[in-house]
Chains A and B, each alone.
Chain A
Amino acid sequence: MEFFTISMLNGLSYGLLLFMLSSGLTLIFSMMGVLNFAHASFYMLGAYIAYSISRFTGFWPGLVIAPVVVGLLGALFERSCLRRVHKFGHVPELLITFGLAFVIGELVLLIWGRTAVEFPPPEVLRGPAFTIVNSSQTGLAIVAGKADAAMCSAADAAVRVVCSPFPATRGFMMLVALAMLVALWLLLTRTRIGLVIQSALTHPEMVESLGHNVPRVFMLVFGAGSALAGLAGVIGGSTFVTEPAMAATVGSVIFVVVVVGGMGSLAGAFVASLLIGIIQTFAVAFDYSLVGAVKSLGIPISAGAADNSLLKLTVSQIAPILPYLFLVLILIFRPKGLLGTREG
């Protein structure tokens, strides 16, 4: 039970982090028809910039400043590069974001080096947020913060006590993501600029003829999307690891999220993010393989088959490729994505 709860929470927090990234990507895509290949690079940039700031001022100013810087860089890129190639069509647009991803990757190597940098979360977030204590005597209990050693060790050998802590960084990640989700929703549905953005998604010419500056709206959306990616990067970088490969690790997963959820569907991106976050987290925890499954059914297997590396693969080993398998299955059985409306 406590395994399930903790894994579920971990999965949810990872899924919410994915959503922080995929929401910006989806918004940019549905607005400008551009899939921003550099989106994950903005995520990485957010982490690295926050790391540099945190060396002088600590974590919290970095959390605020880094997304702003990344957002400005994103807006600058849209204004000076992306807008210029817009007239050439979709393939050059994709290519320029791909080129940007490459350049950002090289710049990060150039400035911060090839190895991972030390970017720890702040002191407050280092311990567990709460601990689930499962005792065979008293049942489940939830303790805020770290459970003290006395609670986790039973005096009586017959009593089994398991303490499962939930890291505070994960909790913080969920908190920020949910706050962002609500803010985004309020912004899109309750404010004037949100209405302009929504209408510019479907009827850009009409919005333009009503006197709104649609290219500037595009720039704002691109900048805001990049800022969200940067924010996710600060949190993701401090929770996991800040390294030059972090863009590639998360980049292809968020593209899977966007396709699985349905191109351009924000709700779809939300569902797919959570789904993939949970699937990947649970898969990592399972150590079962085909060989093991067959054995537990009581079917004898030859030594050769038991040594076959394909059959020997455990669920946790194939966890990294599960999103892509999921992608292929979705494309075969539901090509427009979970909540998508258009077939592209």
Chain B
Amino acid sequence: MSTGVARAPIVAQGRPLPGRRVLVWSGFALVFAIAPLIFRSDFSVSILSQVAIAIVACLSYNMLLGQGGMLSFGHAVYSGLGTFVAVHAMLAIANGTLPVPTSLIPFVGGLAGMFFAIILGYVTTKKAGTPFAMITLGLGELVTAMALMIPEFFGGEGGVSANRSAGKSFLGITYGPQIQVYYLLALYAFVSTAAMFAFTRTPLGRMLNAVRDNPERVEFIGYSTQRVRFFSFVIAGFFAGIAGGMAALNFEIATAEVVGAGRSGLYLFFTFLGGATFFFGPIIGAVLMVLGFALFSEVTKAWQLYLGLIFLFMVMYAPGGIASLIMMNVRVAKYKKLHRLWGWYAGLVAASLVMLVGAAALIEMVYHLQLGGAGEPTLGYLGVTLDTTSAVTWIGAAVVFAIGFVALEATRRRFALAWGAIQMEIESDMTFKEPSPVDVPADLPEHGAAASAEAGKP
């Protein structure tokens, strides 16, 4: 992608087909609108509400990670403090001391997040890169420790709780039923997503990308990288606070855990898994985060270990996340070469399944032993019974794992060659033919293509 010819179409698509964009956004809004009509149970509506919150949180995090190259380990500070202030605002509404409708609670949280981002961000954004990451970590620890020291505001161990339906009802909307809350949260999620996308198109958003890619050059043309980072940090803090306020409305409680390092780590994990190099990547990550907590944690107790392992593999083999995997294949499909990869994909999936079955059997057996196994030496696993006392089971699981690993590695190496060949063909097609305007999907910042091209070489 480094040749001028190859870059030209990307620059030219600064204003892509407007119809396409309208289609994408109305589709997004439609999904929000009809999702609770399809998944009607209380449980699903509560899951959907959490998805709406997570989308805003992950997108605001990606403003730092993906667009600014700032690896923050303390993003939950801003969403969490937003939650706390929002809960206090809800309490004040219930007292009648705050004349604000309940619908504006997320906005209150946003202002709180912004306020704390201004104060703490001044220190944080003095540096970039690794020192930035460490300072955010330190500040996150500081705020978490403070949260337990000031019980007046943070409520100590038990947290602070409020009642969202205590305000005056408006047109029959009391926010008592979860479905009303869901639609409010969906509205906030949609507007925030649109606003954050619009941010990527502002001069500040563009400068932020420049600061990420080449800070030295930005300084030379007269911008202060520190100031660009600071303003972006404040805006990211605002949207994190909105997510926090949405969480306050949804859960009606704030505990010290919401500002903690664990929460910050989750934002990082899932934003990255979804794909930090694309605007829509964190949305995928957010959906995965909520589903992971709600569903996978039911399946296995060791799911966080699997999550960590998946994360390690993604960093090594697909640093662009799921979004980049999708977009790379979309690109291959555009050039009608996807059919040549199906066989490889089938092989990769089969090999990784074998490996996964072996690894998971080992992990589950260790976990079974660790938890005492309820006095039983056996456990049910994928329809078979594993005996943790017999050496055969352990060796068998290890052998399955080893076979899967070797097969996967062999397939992956050959696949990498095939993939590289296809990418070469596409590159040469682009150079010699007049490229089509939809060469790079419209709704992406242009770095996505470059990053995915790099990520395509495993």
Give the interface of A toward B (CB within 8 A). 29, 33, 35, 81, 84-85, 88, 90-92, 94-96, 98-100, 102-103, 106-107, 110-113, 248, 252, 255-256, 258-259, 263, 308-310, 313, 317-318, 320-321, 323-325, 327-328, 331-332, 335, 343-344
Contact = CB atoms under 8 A, between A and B. Distances in A.
8 contacts: A35-B133, A81-B312, A90-B130, A95-B71, A106-B305, A324-B142, A325-B142, A344-B127
Interface size class of B (residues with CB under 8 A): 35 or more
Nearest to A112: B370
Contacts of A308: 152
B406 interface: no
Contact of A103 (B138, B145, B312, B455): B312
Given A321-B142, A321-B145, A321-B146, A110 B363 contact: yes
A85 B316 CA distance: 6
Contacts of A98: 73, 265, 268
Contacts of A91: 65, 69, 71
Contact of B123 (A85, A113, A310, A328): A328
Contacts of A259: 131, 134-135, 138
Contacts of A94: 71, 130, 133
B405 to A, nearest CB: 12
B152 A95 contact: no
A321 B139 CA distance: 10
Contacts of A323: 138
A310 B150 contact: yes
A98 B134 CA distance: 12
A328 B370 CA distance: 41
A50 to B, nearest CB: 19
A15 B65 CA distance: 34
Nearest to A96: B315
B137 A255 contact: yes
B142 A344 contact: no
B366 interface: yes
Contacts of B146: 321
B8 interface: no
B315 A252 contact: no
Nearest to A82: B316
Contacts of B316: 81, 84-85, 96
Contacts of B445: none
B42 interface: no
Interface in B261-312: 261, 265, 268-269, 272, 302, 304-305, 307-309, 311-312
Does more than half of chain B's interface fall in helix, strand or loop, or is it mixed? helix
A117 to B, nearest CB: 12
Given A88-B454, A99-B312, A263-B130, A324 B139 contact: yes
B373 interface: no
Nearest to B311: A99
A106 B311 CA distance: 13
The 3 closest A-B pairs by CB, nearest first: A324-B142, A103-B308, A106-B305
A258 B137 CA distance: 13
Interface in B426-456: 454-455
B151 interface: yes
A254 to B, nearest CB: 10
A103 B135 contact: no
Given A94-B133, A331-B126, A344-B128, 13 more contacts: A35-B130, A84-B316, A90-B129, A95-B71, A96-B315, A99-B315, A102-B265, A103-B311, A255-B137, A310-B150, A321-B146, A323-B138, A328-B139
B5 to A, nearest CB: 25
A111 B370 contact: yes
A107 B129 CA distance: 29
Given A106-B305, A331-B123, A324 B130 contact: no
A214 B363 CA distance: 36
A106 B363 CA distance: 11
Contacts of A113: 370
A95 B315 contact: yes
B149 interface: yes
B118 to A, nearest CB: 15
Contact of B134 (A112, A258, A321): A258
A96 B312 contact: yes
Contacts of A248: 261
Contact of B272 (A35, A95, A112, A313): A95
B205 interface: no
Contacts of A96: 312, 315-316
B150 A106 contact: no
B149 A318 contact: yes
B134 A255 contact: yes
Contacts of A33: 130
Given A90-B129, A111-B370, A325-B142, A35 B134 contact: yes
Given A35-B133, A35-B134, A255-B134, A102 B308 contact: yes
B366 A111 contact: yes
A344 B261 CA distance: 24
B80 interface: no
Contacts of A335: 126-127
B300 to A, nearest CB: 11
A92 B319 CA distance: 7
A115 to B, nearest CB: 11
Nearest to B303: A106
B131 A103 contact: no
B138 A255 contact: yes
B141 interface: yes
B261 to A, nearest CB: 7
B236 to A, nearest CB: 16
Given A94-B133, A95-B71, A344-B131, A110 B302 contact: yes
Nearest to B312: A99
Contacts of A332: 123
A23 to B, nearest CB: 17
A312 B44 CA distance: 46
Contacts of A256: 134, 138
